[in-house]
Amino acid sequence: MNKYRDVIERGYIEIKYGLVLAVREGEPESVCPQDLDARGADVYPGFIDAHTHLGLTTNGVGIESEDFNEESSPCSAKLRIIDAVNPFDTSFEKARSAGITAAVISPGSMNPVAGDIIAVSTLGKRIDKMLLRTVGIKFALGENPKMTYMNRDETPASRMATAAIIREALAKAVRYGEDISNAEESSDMPELDMDSGALLPLLKRKLKAHFHCHRADDIFTALRISREFDLDCVLIHCTDGHLIADELAREGCPAVIGPIICDPCKPELANITPANAGILANAGVKTAICTDHSETPIEYLTLTAGIAIKHGMSFEQALEAVTINAAEAAGIDDICGSLEAGKRADIVIFEKGSSPFEVLSSPKEVFIGGERVRHNFR
């Protein structure tokens, strides 16, 4: 059995310094007054939303609070998303209450090369302390960058130009890295290029390339560019994935599916279906589920997974899609995503027999980094 699917019918979790110390069967040798007796409840790893724009806008505030996109240049790799996230957005509290203990925050999709991506804990006041890891660089294909710049009579105005801008940025970064390596003295160093510098960790596979792609041809363009530059690729949205599931299974690239609760509001969403995640998972694609907050509010992540179950995903597949698969897609599975010794004590507890994916279910308890943030057991 997959180690992440192991079920302990009766057991306990030891926590120390915010980390899981041990997960064992049976009963602990001793019990302290501060220990929680969950009385037979169901215990899960904290849920992870694998693609959001959390904290980049504020509930109840208009365009003046939006920091999704920097539309002044189609290549903005140097942007750091941490400089835009507002942890006091009430969506963080809603996420915690829903058992979402970590989220991946990405720039928007107006620019072909948009900036870096971070994974954060949903608990905290200062984003620097909430940061789990910088995990990737955002690239965007399809309608969004094309329409953004076409309306301004600028490049890109086609899918070809969008792909060309991405290739050019990556090729410049390759050359920039070579020039730095070949420099024997400081005077030989190339002129500072912050966009190229931001892409160097990506080219070394220290960061993942998150490609916004809906249509099947855009998905294949993402894979084509990733092969050309040996990128560690993640397919974001992957709306047409169900049409090419066999091809994607052979590629071995993870797919982050969502938003599922939305309408086909533009041409490239024509083939959207709530069966997408299940079809991909059943074909062997490592599949995660996201809300794309604020497209779907982040607190509805588990409801989104429940809809995927209704349309063909198994309970176990859906659970993995919002825990370990989401963590692996983001490259934070060494930190969270499962209940294992050495990982963060991100834990969600539901009443026994209460599925986390049912609309009437809510967590009874939530722990983030070992800190109890929801208190419903007496």
Mean pLDDT, residues 294-315: 97
Mean pLDDT, residues 46-68: 85
Judge whether residue 33 has pLDDT over 90. no
pLDDT at residue number 1: 32
Question: How far is CA 243 from each of CA 238, 271, 283, rounded to the nearest angstrom?
Answer: 10, 9, 11
Cis amide linkage into residue 112, ω under 30° from 0: no
Contact between residue 158 and residue 218 where contact means Cβ atoms under 8 Å apart: no
Contact between residue 348 and residue 304 where contact means Cβ atoms under 8 Å apart: no
Average pLDDT of every residue of the chain = 95
Rg from Cα positions in the chain: 21
Contact between residue 183 and residue 189 where contact means Cβ atoms under 8 Å apart: yes
pLDDT at residue number 66: 83
pTM: 0.96
- Percent of the chain residues topping a pLDDT of 90: 87
Going along the chain from its start, the domains and CATH numbers come out as 46-336 (3.20.20.140)
